[in-house]
């Protein structure tokens, strides 16, 4: 396993969250500002994550960890899904679901550790819940103010950052990835 990794994202919230989840278990650095953002040309989180990992590793010539994630709402045909970052955020989601009674949703995060041509491992984390009827809470980012995890009555934004760091789709994927990296 590499001693040092680049967490390849242009999203400062994701970088900060991953650093907090890791708590020093793995040394990661931010993506250098001069590196262009990788495209996401596929309709699959796995394909986009692997593509981005190879893209960044080819630019940096050092091991990278890449994450691609999305919020999937079955009553919206799976949208926003792979396009979550470009969908329009929680307000647009609430508007699209205004008259819907079926509010089940789930987050999926795919993490890829890429450490050379055709040398990679990946892990997935899934987080089930439902979409609230109104935004609530001020913690977190993205869809946190509208996502209520299973067995909870509050949104992620209300539950707080520490709770999210232990339970999120990103945390689940990252812990699985760490186990795989340490095993082999």
Residue 27 structure tokens: 């040394």
Cα separations in angstroms, 66 against 4, 30, 38, 112: 14, 11, 10, 5
Q: Which of 20, 29, 47, 68 is catalytic?
A: 68
In degrees, rounded to 5, the angle at the alpha carbon of residue 118 between the alpha carbons of residues 32 and 46 is 75
104 is catalytic: no
Q: Which residues are designated catalytic?
A: 68
């Amino acid at each position: 396993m590499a001693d040092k990794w680049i967490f390849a994202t242009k999203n400062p919230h994701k970088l900060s969250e991953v650093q907090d989840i890791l708590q020093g278990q793995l040394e990661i650095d931010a993506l250098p500002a001069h590196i262009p953002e990788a495209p996401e040309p596929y309709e699959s989180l796995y394909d986009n994550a692997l593509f981005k990992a190879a893209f960044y590793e080819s630019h940096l010539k050092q091991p990278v960890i890449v994450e691609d994630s999305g919020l999937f709402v079955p009553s919206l045909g799976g949208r926003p899904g792979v396009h979550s970052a470009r969908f329009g955020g929680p307000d647009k989601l609430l508007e699209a679901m205004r008259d819907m009674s079926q509010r089940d949703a789930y987050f999926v995060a795919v993490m890829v550790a890429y450490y050379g041509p055709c040398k990679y491992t990946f892990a997935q984390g899934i987080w089930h819940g439902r979409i609230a009827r109104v935004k609530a809470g001020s913690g977190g980012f993205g869809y946190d103010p509208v996502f209520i995890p299973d067995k909870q009555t509050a949104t992620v934004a209300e539950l707080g950052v520490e709770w999210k760091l232990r339970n999120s789709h990103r945390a689940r994927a990252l812990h699985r990835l760490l186990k795989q990296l340490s095993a082999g």
